């Protein structure tokens, strides 16, 4: 009976803790050794991540705001505040890896881990929620003058590994081909180099992670392509695009992720005054591309950039960014609502991340630790 009560108590404790935000869970470290073991267990960390990721109110989702200015400190806010509250205050968030006079850019975020690049060269993996970060070893590629880089960050579920992809192309070569791709494995803490020859100029700096693959928009001699690399086997592929409609040839594309699905913002130039949002509801199936809505805008704003939506609320509204403004679009009545945000700079890029306990960088001698005391 005593053992049964002890087991029941552990289950109840686990169910309560799983509902808490990360910052409160971290305060439970010193309650007892059994609580520490519970919170540190892989099953608890994975379950907490799953519950947080599937929370329809986005109470565990944040936006990290970054800027190309070297003196910039990160800022952040909750998605739920932007969607459901009348005013959102953006909070300052210092970057512990910050270096003087070097820019910081977010490559991507997966399972609460954020990949950063500092000064076009130093790469880090960072979990802001548990205040842990790791500097990645230098890539094997030679950063020659004239090379430019594109990056991506994602999770290889088949090998249970987090990977960074770095793409290099010489700007001074009269060619549409990029010639070298390096892939970093967190599990092996090393880079491997793949020599490739693919046509197209990569127009999106950081790849979008969906279905185990990283995706970029490329411009070719024949139009637009969506290319992807499978993180499990390193093979390249191409994603078929939606049927945009007859006569709609003069447009630009912007790639995004919405609710785990690949999304496209399509900007028509000089022909119309709207942008279309497309969602690929079943990955890899061309027929599953669905046009969710189009947003009308003044003709003189076509030169500015709309960013694909960050999320859709439980009311069917879409949150997205236009230049340096957050907006909510309601497709039911085609209304646009401009959000009031304080303490926010005029120039930034925003990336979604989930608060999590994930930290797959094991101390020596440990086989099952996911997080260590911050």
Q: pLDDT per residue over 31-62, tens digit each?
A: 778 888 888 889 999 999 999 999 889 999 99
Do 243 and 311 belong together in one domain? yes
Residues 6+ apart with CB under 8 A from 108: 114, 115, 151, 152, 153, 154, 206, 207, 208, 209, 351
Residue 369 domain flag: no
Q: Which pLDDT value is given to residue 370?
A: 46
Same domain, 343 and 244: yes
133 and 69 together in one domain: yes
Measured CA distances, 265 to 244, 300, 327, 329 (Å): 11, 18, 15, 14
How confident is the model at residue 5, as a pLDDT? 31
Q: Does residue 144 form part of some domain?
A: yes
368 belongs to a structural domain: no
CATH of the domain at 201: 2.120.10.80
Whether residue 359 is contained in a domain is answered as no
What's the CA angle centered on 242, arms 237 and 246, to 5 degrees?
135
| pLDDT band of 3, cuts 50, 70, 90 | very low
Could you list the residue range(s) of the whole structural domain that residue 145 is in?
Answer: 48-354
Pick from 118, 41, 61: nearest CA to 358: 41
Q: For all residues of the chain together, what is the average pLDDT?
A: 80
Query: What's residue 98's pLDDT?
Result: 66
Listed range (28-37, 44-53, 141-150, 318-327) with the worst mean pLDDT:
141-150
Please compute, for residue 76, the number of CA atoms within 13 A of its CA located in the half-sphere on the CB side.
18
Q: How far apart are CA 201 and CA 213, in angstroms?
A: 19
Other Cβ atoms within 10 Å of 51 Cβ, number: 12
Q: Are residues 73 and 168 in the same domain?
A: yes
pTM for the whole structure: 0.87
67 and 141 co-located in one domain:
yes
pLDDT of residue 304: 52
Domain shared by 21 and 61, yes or no: no
Same-domain status, 57 and 188: yes
Shared domain check, 203 and 348: yes
Phi/psi at 265 (5° precision): -100, 125
Q: Is the domain of 315 the same as that of 337?
A: yes
Give the position of tokens 């070719």: 220
DSSP three-state, residue 181: strand
In this structure, are 117 and 229 located in the same domain? yes
Looking at the fold, whether 32 and 121 belong to one and the same domain comes out as no
In a domain, 372, yes or no: no
CB 123 within 8 A of CB 115: yes
- Most confidently modeled range among 94-98, 262-266, 281-285, 341-345: 281-285
Nearest alpha carbon to residue 356 among 58, 36, 49? 49
Residue 99: inside a domain = yes
Stretch among 7-11, 199-203, 242-246, 339-343 having the lowest mean pLDDT: 7-11
For residues 30 and 60, state if they share a domain.
no
Classify residue 21: in a domain, yes or no. Answer: yes
* Pairwise pLDDT comparison (18 vs 368), residue with the higher score: 18
Average pLDDT over residues 205-224: 87
Percent helix, strand and coil across the chain, each rounded to 5? 15, 45, 40
Task: Please list the residues that pair with 216 across neighbouring strands.
Answer: 227
Question: Is 180 inside a domain boundary?
Answer: yes
Specify the pLDDT at position 353: 92
Report residue 137: phi and psi, to 5°: -65, 155
141 pLDDT tier (thresholds 50, 70, 90): low
Q: What's the total number of domains in the chain?
A: 2
In this predicted structure, the answer to whether residue 71 has a pLDDT above a threshold of 90 is no
Number of residues in the chain: 374
Q: Mean pLDDT throughout 336-347? A: 80
């Amino acid at each position: 009976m005593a053992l049964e009560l002890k087991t029941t108590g552990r289950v109840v404790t686990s169910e309560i803790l799983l509902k808490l935000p990360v910052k409160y869970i971290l305060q439970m470290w010193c309650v007892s050794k059994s609580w520490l073991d519970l919170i540190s267990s892989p099953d608890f960390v994975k379950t907490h991540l799953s519950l947080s990721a599937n929370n329809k109110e986005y109470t565990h989702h944040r936006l990290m705001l970054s800027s190309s200015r070297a003196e910039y400190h990160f800022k952040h806010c909750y998605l739920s505040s932007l969607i459901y509250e009348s005013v959102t205050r953006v909070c300052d968030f210092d970057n512990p890896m910050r270096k003087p006079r070097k820019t910081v850019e977010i490559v991507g975020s997966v399972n609460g881990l954020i990949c950063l690049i500092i000064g076009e060269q130093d790469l880090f993996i960072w979990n802001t929620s548990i205040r842990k970060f790791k500097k990645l070893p230098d890539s094997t590629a030679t950063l020659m003058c004239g090379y430019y880089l594109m990056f991506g960050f994602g999770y290889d579920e088949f090998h249970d590994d987090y990977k960074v992809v770095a793409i290099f192309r010489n700007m001074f070569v009269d060619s549409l081909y990029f010639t070298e791709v390096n892939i970093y494995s967190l599990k092996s803490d090393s880079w491997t180099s793949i020599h490739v020859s693919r046509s197209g100029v990569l127009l999106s700096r950081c790849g979008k992670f969906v279905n185990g693959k990283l995706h970029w928009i490329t411009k070719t001699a024949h139009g637009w392509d969506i290319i992807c690399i499978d993180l499990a086997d390193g093979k390249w592929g191409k994603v078929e695009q939606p049927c945009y409609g007859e006569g709609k040839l003069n447009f630009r594309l912007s790639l995004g992720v919405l609710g785990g699905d690949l999304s496209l913002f399509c900007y028509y130039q000089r022909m119309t005054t709207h942008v279309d949002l497309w969602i690929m509801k079943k990955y890899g199936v061309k027929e599953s591309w669905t046009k969710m809505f189009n947003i009308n805008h003044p003709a003189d704003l076509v030169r500015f950039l709309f960013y694909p939506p960050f999320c859709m609320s439980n009311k069917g509204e879409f949150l997205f960014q236009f230049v340096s403004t957050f907006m909510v679009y309601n497709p039911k009545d085609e209304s646009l609502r401009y959000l009031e945000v304080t303490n926010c700079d005029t120039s930034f890029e925003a990336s979604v991340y989930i608060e999590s306990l994930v930290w797959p960088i094991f101390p020596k001698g440990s086989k099952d630790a996911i997080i260590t005391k911050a």
